[in-house]
Amino acid sequence: RSQFEELCAELLQRIEVPLLSLMEQTQLKVEDVTAVEIVGGATRIPAVKERIAKFFGKDVSTTLNADEAIARGCALQCAILSPAFKVREFSVTDATPFPISLLWNTEAEDTEGVHEVFSRNHAAPFSKVLTFYRKGPFELEAFYSEPNGVPYPESKIGKYVIQNVAAQKDGEKSKVKVKVRVNTHGIFSVSTASMVEPVKSEESEDVSVETEVESQDQRPIENSSEKNIQQENSEAGTQSQVQTDGQQTSQSPPSSEPPSEENKIPDVKKTNEKKGDQPPEAKKPKIKVKNVELPIEANLVWQLGKDLLNMYIETEGKMIMQDKLEKERNDAKNAVEEYVYEFRDKLSGPYEKFVCEKDLQGFSSLLMETEGWLYEEGEDEAKQVYVDKLEDLKKLGTPIEMRFQEAAERPRLLEELGHRLQYYATIAGEFRNKDEKYIHIDEMEMMKVEKCVSEVVEWMNNAVSAQAKKSLDQDPAVHSSEIKAKLQELNNICEPVVTQPKPKVDSPKEENPLNEQNDYKTEEMGEDDKSSEMPQQNGECHPSDQSTVNIDLD
């Protein structure tokens, strides 16, 4: 190992370069790092571990399983993209590895504007809005700010032409908002562009457009939740304003200064005092604006154009269809091969009793011929050829398979039918014997049951007799489907009759005898009788009331 590390000494020295760059970008010192976790295949090399540990002055940790972490992340991302899974909202914030700048031509000669929209390690995905003042269409060029640090042969990303830009009616420059974005994959794009057009209206009118209040000594007031970066070009007289969109305000905290609009709100009390002294002011027109979407023509470097991309997509669709047809052709061929092998084995096994000797020899010969055809002439045939070949085989094989299945199912179904017939016949006999369980059933209904049982018994006896005359290699006289139909017919007629519930008999209500006695006494007794029940003046109760308590009155 020592000899090998001496040979690789020049390569191992390169390890310190990214480490120094890392500390420079994070603006940290080695002493500020408390722990070091390394991942990646090369970190398994002992010499690499030693170099990293020596750089930081502490032992490195390798507790993170990078393969497992990647597999889990891929599985989660697939679940997020798939409509078949429902997962919690999960946002990924990545970093832009290479700074990206924008270059634009100004209306003055030989002057250009440049702005770095996304710095190194800027959060991604992220969007920013750039505001331009133009009288006509203009071009934006995106490129990597540090060409030497980009591992690509070309540092330019592409050119974007903002079209359909026109001056205002008064000849002034129009305000154009351009939205640039780096998506989750780190791909830069100019996503949208819109031109702000003023619309004059009275205060009483209701116009559902964005409102901007402008004055002679103030620039347009932007939303306080957006971070504004002003750039002025004195030679060109143009102004560029960069602001993050409201969706990513967590990355750009709002300014701590209050909006200038609040400073212009007058005191309410002072205003009320002045209103009485001054005449009413005329209504001032408000300047409202609306956003007009603008088309963007993108000329990308190292990326496919729209026409070429659509052609490749169409070609890919044709290839997918061709693969689908090839798969269907192979499936049809495999179905024929599988049928040949499966039936050839069963003809010498469970199906042997269900085919006569003549048909057995003919079918076996056909299977052998089909097998040879598959590996010679039929090696590369169309799908329909295999489908037709399988149909020809099934014309001979399906009757044999059907006889085998019928012989297996028929005894079970006949036995089940016999049990049901015996069950309904027993209930009919108990009804004739006046059994209390069935005495409530109407006699006409029970006669229907007896008739149905008699007819099914006769049909069953005839079917069993006819089937007994058939051999196993002949088509059955009665099929399982016919037995199932008879069983269903029997149950539909008999079951509702024999399961009729007994009619409910209303039991007489129990009345309270004490209440009846009280009611009777109340009706029979007159006023004189009632007064005789009252206690006498000497405090003694009536002798007939033996259940009352004597009360002595002093």
Query: What does 500-541 look like in DSSP terms, one character per residue?
Result: PPPPP-PPPPPP-HHHHHHHHHHHH--HHHHHHHSPPTTSPP
Block residue for tokens 């990308």: 300
- Please tell me the predicted confidence (pLDDT) of residue 506: 64
Are the beta carbons of 321 and 238 closer than 8 angstroms?
A: no
What is the model's pLDDT at position 546?
A: 40
* Contact indicator for 190, 196 with CB cutoff of 8 Å: no
The pLDDT value given to residue 462: 93
CA distance linking residue 64 with residue 39, whole number of Å: 7
pLDDT of residue 266: 41
Residues 156, 98 contacting (CB under 8 angstroms): no
Nearest to 131 by CA among 286, 257, 244: 244
Parallel, antiparallel or unpaired: strands 210-211 and 188-201: unpaired
Could you give all domains of the chain from N- to C-terminal order, each with its CATH number?
Answer: 1-68 (3.30.420.40), 94-198 (2.60.34.10), 307-397 (1.20.1270.10), 404-499 (1.20.1270.10)
pLDDT in tens, 495-548: 999 888 888 766 655 555 444 444 444 344 444 444 444 444 444 444 444 433
Query: What's the pLDDT at 65?
Result: 86
Q: What is the pLDDT of residue 277?
A: 54
pTM to 2 decimals? 0.47
Residue 468 has, within 13 A of its CA and on its CB side, a CA count of 6
DSSP type of residue 412: H
Q: Of 158, 280, 177, give the one whose Cα is nearest residue 223.
A: 177
pLDDT tens, residue by residue, 129-159: 999 999 899 999 999 998 888 888 888 999 9
pLDDT of residue 367: 92
What is the C-alpha separation between 303 and 406, in angstroms, rounded? 66
- Residue 499 is given by DSSP the state T
10 Å CB burial of residue 398 (0-12, 13-18, 19+) is: exposed
Vertex 403, ends 397 and 406: CA angle to 5°? 135
pLDDT tens string for the chain (554 positions)? 999 999 999 999 999 999 998 898 888 899 999 999 998 888 889 999 999 999 999 999 988 888 888 899 899 889 988 889 888 877 788 999 999 999 988 766 556 788 899 998 899 999 999 999 998 999 999 999 988 888 888 889 999 999 999 988 888 889 999 999 999 888 999 999 999 988 765 543 444 334 343 333 333 333 333 333 333 333 333 444 444 444 443 333 333 333 333 333 444 444 444 445 555 555 565 678 888 999 999 888 877 777 888 999 999 999 999 999 999 999 999 999 999 999 999 998 899 889 998 888 999 999 999 999 999 888 889 999 999 999 999 999 999 999 999 999 999 999 999 999 999 999 999 888 888 888 888 889 889 999 999 999 999 999 999 999 989 889 899 999 999 999 999 999 999 998 888 887 666 555 554 444 444 443 444 444 444 444 444 444 444 444 333 434 33
